[in-house]
Structure 1
Amino acid sequence: MADLQLTRDFPVSPDRLFAAVTQQADLLQWWGPEGMHCPEHALDLSQLGPWHSVMVNADGERFKVSGQVTSYDPPRSVGFTWAWHDPEDNRGAESHVTFTVTGTESGSRLVLDHRELGDDEIAANHNEGWSSSLRKLDALLG
């Protein structure tokens, strides 16, 4: 199984960063790669239970992902399962994501761990997607 870990620093307090990665109003501004938006969602990582989002690109292609928020420890971490749906809305292989927030001298740090991704190609695709999404988060908080 391949795993992915990304680390980014932000010039905001840990509380602000944690809100940005868990609260629906902020999530909808950065969730999904650049050029995507989420017109359909139950995207609130601030409580245990199910979540989902449908990301749509400029060509109108739809990409649905869903899971369960499995842990919520404000303002330190949130964990959730993650699985893509196929065009018939069948849920695929499940992986697990954890966002961990810590304070730094200049603000806060986000560590994104995405575990059990299958193979290296899947991990590379998620690296590209998460990296693009984190650029949007940087623009939101920068």
Structure 2
Amino acid sequence: MTNQMISKIEGNVLILEREFNAPRELVFQAFTKAEHLKQWWGPRGWTLPVCHVDFREGGVWHYCMKCEDKNQGDFYGMESWGKAAYREIVVPEKIVYVDYFSDAEGNVAEDMPQTLVTLTFIETDNGTRVINRGEYATAEALKQVMDMGMMQGITDTWNRLVEHLKSIQENN
């Protein structure tokens, strides 16, 4: 049985938690290496045609998600650019970064909410618990991304991560 995601909102903070049946080092790598991220980042039906990762404190991850699924109607062909600026990295325990909406050149979209994300990777008996703590400037900014369908998107994304981790472990 796949572990389900637990989510809770505390004011301007969204906390997501899920256990993955894979070793902590592998789960950590899945969040930090382009060859992994290209396999699972984004909702189902979306690909990551651009994924540049400079994984170090002060480094940046710049990416583009693109909808390749014709069944998603108006979303088909749409691109969504994002940028993460890494602030703190403790391998394989923690990653802290600021997540931005951006354009293809990496310019931050000032009219969109930014998120201070703290990812924590905890070893468990069955694998790795990931806690994603997303702090927004205001509760309204958090509501804005929730209204854009973020919960469905992140649930889809983490389900794809489960499948990716399983396929890696089966092929090794």
Task: Name the TM tier (shorter chain).
Answer: 0.7 to 0.9
Moved over 2 A (4+): 85-90, 123-128
Deviation at 1:86, TM superposition (A): 6.2
The aligned residue for residue 47 of structure 1 is 56
The aligned residue for residue 17 of structure 2 is 7
Which is higher, the Rg of structure 1 or of structure 2? 2
What secondary structure sits across from 2:22 in the alignment? Answer: coil
Task: Give per-residue Cα distances to partners, 1:70-89, cap 9 Å, x unaligned.
Answer: 11100101111111136996
Answer whether contact 1:22 1:78 (CA < 8 A) is retained.
no
What secondary structure sits across from 2:31 in the alignment? Answer: helix
Pairs within 5 Å for 1:11-26: 11-26=21-36
What secondary structure sits across from 1:51 in the alignment? Answer: strand
CA 1:19 to 1:77, structure 2 compared with 1: closer, same or farther past 3 Å? same
Distance in 2 between the 1:67 and 1:14 partners? 22
Distance in 2 between the 1:62 and 1:5 partners? 26
Alpha carbon RMSD of aligned pairs, Å? 2.2
Count of aligned positions: 141
Pairs within 5 Å for 1:95-114: 95-114=115-134
How high is the sequence identity, in percent, across the aligned residues?
A: 23
Amino acid at match of 1:120: K
Answer whether contact 1:4 1:127 (CA < 8 A) is retained.
no
126-135 or 80-89, which deviates more: 80-89
Pairs within 5 Å for 1:63-102: 63-85=80-102, 91-92=109-110, 93-102=113-122
Correspondence 1:120 to 2:143 = yes
Amino acid at match of 2:152: E
CA 1:75 to 1:119, structure 2 compared with 1: closer, same or farther past 3 Å? closer
Correspondence 1:130 to 2:154 = yes
CA 1:107 to 1:119, structure 2 compared with 1: closer, same or farther past 3 Å? closer
Give the gaps of 5 or more residues in structure 1.
none
| Relative contact order higher in (CA < 8 Å, ≥ 6 apart) | 1
The aligned residue for residue 29 of structure 1 is 39
CA 1:24 to 1:70, structure 2 compared with 1: closer, same or farther past 3 Å? same
Q: Given the two structures, how large is their TM-score scaled by the length of structure 2? A: 0.73
Amino acid at match of 1:15: E
